[in-house]
Chain A
Amino acid sequence: MLILNCPYCGREKDETELAAGGEAHLKRFGPGSSDQDFEGYLFDRANPKGLHFERWRCAAGCGKWFHAARCTATLEVFGTYKAQTLEPPKTIRDAITAKRPGWSWRNFS
């Protein structure tokens, strides 16, 4: 059972109370962007075995969207953080580095 701590309400929520929102930190390409960028924004998703950054919603709780860094293979959670950010905060990066030295994910490392 995946258990995440919602950074807004501060409660431990298991996956039955959460709604998965797919990959985090997507950059939106809207009208006026190239076909390739738009296609990438719509369809190009990472599906790693290992470290992943995801969006989750505290659906049966406070209703807020938040981000989580976790391992898709072991369900180990490195941390959760608020959604009002364009990149993982330093505390989360450090927590991942402590467990998985030399990690990289998309443009982050």
Chain B
Amino acid sequence: MSDREFQGYVHVRQDSGQCMFTLRANLASTKIKAAVKSATGVAFPNRGLCEVSEGCTLAWMSPDELLIMVPTAQAQKLLTGLEAALEGLHVLLEDVSDARAKFILSGAHVREVLGKLAPMDCHPAQFPVGSFNRTRFAQVAGAVFMEQEDLISIICFRSVQDYVFTLFCDAVAPGSEVLL
């Protein structure tokens, strides 16, 4: 997987240096929360949010699904730690790195580009920094998280990565600014 990029009025870049793990478990359980927190060193995210610490990201996907993102270099260590911490609890932990693709949008107008493609409220009051949302980008499902005011991460299935990359390149094409 190559890290392709495109410079429009917002910069689009693929980020293949992240490993992703899916944890299916009851996220309301204090035991699960404590185990994940001790293994990752990241605060447990509340509903609709994500938490980041030292490159490791935890994102709230649904009441029973957590997405754990970590740079590839740290992945094996983290996975071993998680498996140990969750030993004996009713969970399913799976490496989904090869099933997903991640893109990074950066620039002053990232909210507008997101608003062009996803049917969601991108206003800072509704989607502040640190928010995480699962939605769709044009025709395919995806997830988005607001890392910084001018930096958004996009996650989609690997099978539709070409579609999503092309979609965002088109949305950031010079001359297509709305700038309301």
- Residues of chain A lying within 8 A (CB to CB) of residue B63: 8-9, 62, 64
Interface string of A1-18 (1 = CB under 8 A from B): 000000011111010110
- Residues of chain A lying within 8 A (CB to CB) of residue B62: 8-9, 61-64
- Residues of chain B lying within 8 A (CB to CB) of residue A12: 120-121
Number of A-B residue pairs, CB cutoff 8 Å, is: 37
- Residues of chain A lying within 8 A (CB to CB) of residue B121: 12
Do residues A9 and B119 form an inter-chain contact, with CB atoms below 8 A? Answer: no
Give min CB distance, A18 to chain B, whole Å: 10
Docked CA distance A96–B120 (Å)? 27
- The B-contacting residues of A in range 17-52, CB under 8 angstroms, are 17
- Residues of chain A lying within 8 A (CB to CB) of residue B119: 14, 16-17
- Residues of chain B lying within 8 A (CB to CB) of residue A8: 62-63
Do residues A60 and B134 form an inter-chain contact, with CB atoms below 8 A? Answer: yes
- Residues of chain B lying within 8 A (CB to CB) of residue A11: 48, 120, 133
B53 an interface residue at 8 Å Cβ cutoff?
A: no
Do residues A61 and B135 form an inter-chain contact, with CB atoms below 8 A? Answer: yes
- The A-contacting residues of B in range 98-141, CB under 8 angstroms, are 119-121, 133-136, 141
In this complex, how many residues of chain A approach chain B with their Cβ under 8 Å: the count is 13
Contact of B135 among A10, A60, A63, A64 (CB under 8 A): A60
- Residues of chain B lying within 8 A (CB to CB) of residue A10: 47-48
Docked CA distance A35–B47 (Å)? 45
Docked CA distance A12–B134 (Å)? 11
Query: Which of A12, A16, A63 has the most C-beta atoms of chain B within 10 angstroms of its own C-beta?
Result: A63
- The A-contacting residues of B in range 50-71, CB under 8 angstroms, are 61-63, 65
- Residues of chain B lying within 8 A (CB to CB) of residue A14: 119
- Residues of chain A lying within 8 A (CB to CB) of residue B48: 9-11
Docked CA distance A62–B143 (Å)? 10
Give min CB distance, A67 to chain B, whole Å: 16
Give min CB distance, A47 to chain B, whole Å: 27
Pick the 4 closest A-B CB pairs, nearest first: A62-B62, A60-B136, A61-B134, A14-B119
List 27 A-B residue pairs with CB atoms under 8 Å apart, sorted by A's residue number.
A8-B63, A9-B47, A9-B48, A9-B62, A9-B63, A10-B48, A11-B48, A11-B120, A11-B133, A12-B120, A12-B121, A14-B119, A16-B119, A16-B136, A17-B119, A17-B135, A17-B136, A60-B134, A60-B135, A60-B141, A61-B62, A61-B135, A62-B62, A62-B63, A62-B65, A63-B62, A63-B65
